[in-house]
């Protein structure tokens, strides 16, 4: 039997968090040091302004950090942007790319997400590539087609199962309290693994495929127990170390 990949529970703080919030990073590191994280790898993606301070706190801890987006170039005249190299320099090991809030709010298409994922690879970061359908696309029966073309367009050929993570985040489940039916999640994750096996031949089984969208301590056991779900990308509930760790501890 093929060995399952190590689960990953990642917190995406989005545009939340001032220096006061660094206490949550300390609490997560302390909880992991005290109880262990179970079998899951833990990643916190705070806003870029907090990365260096968070890195100082998490130094020596197995808790890893990630950025929430990156530019595809290593440096240059791109006012306001942050490169994958800069994130790495600040202490990140991961970067989220292609989150639906960036796809819709900043018109990021698959080609742009592909370039960002390649930039992450160049900088030695693991890219967490987000895919997911809108409510209208699901209702039209197009969820698999939409996610299939996002995968085809967004994953660089240079990737390996270790250098990339896929997060399936149905747009309509983000921040809404809604989640897809367990069978729909299982179908989508199985579909993603099959497609990944074509993009990264023979590596599909090792790829980590996270579910994201309204993951809470109350539904985490059910969601993380679904076939082909290798962890979670958590938004709102990751802002509280207690809630975030309650989700991560499902993997005890
Ligand atoms: P919520 O967990 O707040 O629904 O957000 C999910 C998400 O967008 C994580 O990237």
Q: Which domains are present in the chain?
A: 60-236 (3.20.20.70)
β-pairing, 231-234 vs 8-12, is: parallel
| 115 catalytic residue (yes or no) | no
Element (H, E) at 86: helix 84-90
Strand partners, 242: none
pLDDT at position 2 over 80: no
If you search the block for the tokens 């939409």, which residue do you land on? Answer: 146
- Structural contact between residues 159 and 165, judged by C-beta atoms closer than 8 angstroms: no
13, 99, 235, 239: which to mutate for ligand 1, most atoms within 8 A of CB? 235
Comparing C-alpha atoms, which of 232, 130, 235 is closest to residue 177?
Answer: 235
132-143 residue pLDDT tens: 999 999 999 999
Average pLDDT rounded to a whole number, residues 8-24:
98
Average pLDDT rounded to a whole number, residues 44-59:
98
**Euclidean distance between the first and final Cα of the chain, in Å?**
22
Buried/exposed code over 197-223 (b: 16+ C-beta within 10 A; e: otherwise): bebbeebbebbbbbbbbbbebeebeeb
Average pLDDT rounded to a whole number, residues 59-84:
98
The mean pLDDT value of the chain amounts to: 95
Ligand 1, atom 1, residue with closest C-alpha: 235
167, 175, 179, 238: which to mutate for ligand 1, most atoms within 8 A of CB? 175
Residue 37 confidence (pLDDT):
57
> How far, in Å, CA of 42 to CA of 40, rounded?
6
Q: If you measure from the C-alpha of residue 234 to the centroid of ligand 1, how many angstroms do you get, rounded to a whole number?
A: 5
**pTM for the whole structure:** 0.97
158-213 residue pLDDT tens: 778 889 999 999 999 999 999 999 999 999 999 999 999 888 888 889 999 999 99
CB neighbour list of residue 155: distance below 8 Å, 6 or more residues apart:
114, 117, 129, 164, 166, 196, 199, 200
Residue 1 confidence (pLDDT):
47
Strand partners, 44: 11, 65
85-119 residue pLDDT tens: 999 999 999 999 999 999 999 999 999 999 999 99
Residue 252 confidence (pLDDT):
84
23-35 residue pLDDT tens: 999 999 999 998 8
How far, CA to CA in Å, does 10 sit from each of 105, 169, 198?
22, 13, 26
Residue 49 confidence (pLDDT):
98
| 71 catalytic residue (yes or no) | no
Q: If you measure from the C-alpha of residue 102 to the centroid of ligand 1, how many angstroms do you get, rounded to a whole number?
A: 13
């Amino acid at each position: 039997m093929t060995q399952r990949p190590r689960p990953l529970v990642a917190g995406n703080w989005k545009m939340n968090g001032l220096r006061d919030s660094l206490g949550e990073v300390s609490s997560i590191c302390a909880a992991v040091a005290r109880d262990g994280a179970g079998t899951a790898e833990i990643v916190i993606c705070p806003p870029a302004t907090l990365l260096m301070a968070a890195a100082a706190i998490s130094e020596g801890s197995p808790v890893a950090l990630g950025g929430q987006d990156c530019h595809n170039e290593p440096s240059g005249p791109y006012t306001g942007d942050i490169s994958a190299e800069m994130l790495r320099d600040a202490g990140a090991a991961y970067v989220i790319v292609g989150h639906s809030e960036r796809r819709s709010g900043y018109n990021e298409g698959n080609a742009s997400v592909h370039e960002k994922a390649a930039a992450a690879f160049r900088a030695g970061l693991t890219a967490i590539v987000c895919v997911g359908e809108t409510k209208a696309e699901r209702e039209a029966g197009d969820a698999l087609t939409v996610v299939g073309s996002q995968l085809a367009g967004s994953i660089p050929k240079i990737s390996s199962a270790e250098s990339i993570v896929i997060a399936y985040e149905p747009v309509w489940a983000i921040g809404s309290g809604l989640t897809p039916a367990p069978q729909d999640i299982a179908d989508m994750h199985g579909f993603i693994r099959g497609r990944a096996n074509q993009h990264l031949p023979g590596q599909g089984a090792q790829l980590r495929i996270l579910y994201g969208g309204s993951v809470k301590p109350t539904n985490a056991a059910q969601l993380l127990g679904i076939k082909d779900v290798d962890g979670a990308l958590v938004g709102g509930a990751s802002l509280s170390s207690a809630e975030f760790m309650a989700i991560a501890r499902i993997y005890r």
